[in-house]
Amino acid sequence: MLPKSVSKLQIGDALSAEDIFALNQVPNVEIDRKEHGAYALTDLILEISHFLDEDVINRIETQMLSNRIRFDWSLPKSFQIIETRNKEIGLVLKELEEVAWRMAGMFDDRDLDSLKAMLSVQRNKDYFDRQFYDTDMQSMEQFM
């Protein structure tokens, strides 16, 4: 993702007023040419890459495609391409999420050993406690 050569472009030099206006349309973004003009353009690109994910890019592409089709076919301004998912797919995804959540909550031997170690702090030191320690650990294993 790094450029092949060093770039010394700054926001004030590289971005037009329209570009800055478009960026300022993003919620919680406020770029001012006077205040931020000396910042490196690569810094801005790095910051933008942190909140642009695949979903955002897909929505932008869908909007651009809608605009192009609307223009090419002289469709009304209300025309919009929408992306909807089949109801069954949503139900299957919810079921898989539930199964994954339940499997993540299951204890394995390593978890059991960690719990034993935590519950064994300050235990098994005197004669009385040593008599019941093994029984307590077996009871915990059966409970888990």
State the SS3 of the chain: CCCCCCCCCEHHHHCCHHHHHHHHCCCCCCCCHHHHCCCEHHHHHHHHHHHCCHHHHHHHHHHHHHHHHHHHCCCCCCCCCCCCCCHHHHHHHHHHHHHHHHHHCCCCHHHHHHHHHHHCCCCCCCHHHHHHHHHHHHHHHHHC
Residue 118 lies in a domain: yes
pLDDT at 137 over 60: yes
Tell me, yes or no, whether 123 lies in a domain: yes
* Number of domains the chain contains: 1
Q: What is the pLDDT of residues 46-89, one digit of tens each?
A: 888 777 777 777 888 888 899 999 999 999 989 888 877 778 88
47 domain-assigned: no
Structural domain harbouring 123: 109-143
Residue 73: inside a domain, yes or no? no
pLDDT value at position 75? 92
Q: What is the pTM of this model?
A: 0.38
The answer to whether residue 131 is domain-embedded is yes
116 within some domain: yes
Higher pLDDT, 129 or 99: 99
| Residue 14 belongs to some domain of the structure | no
Is 76 contained in some domain? no
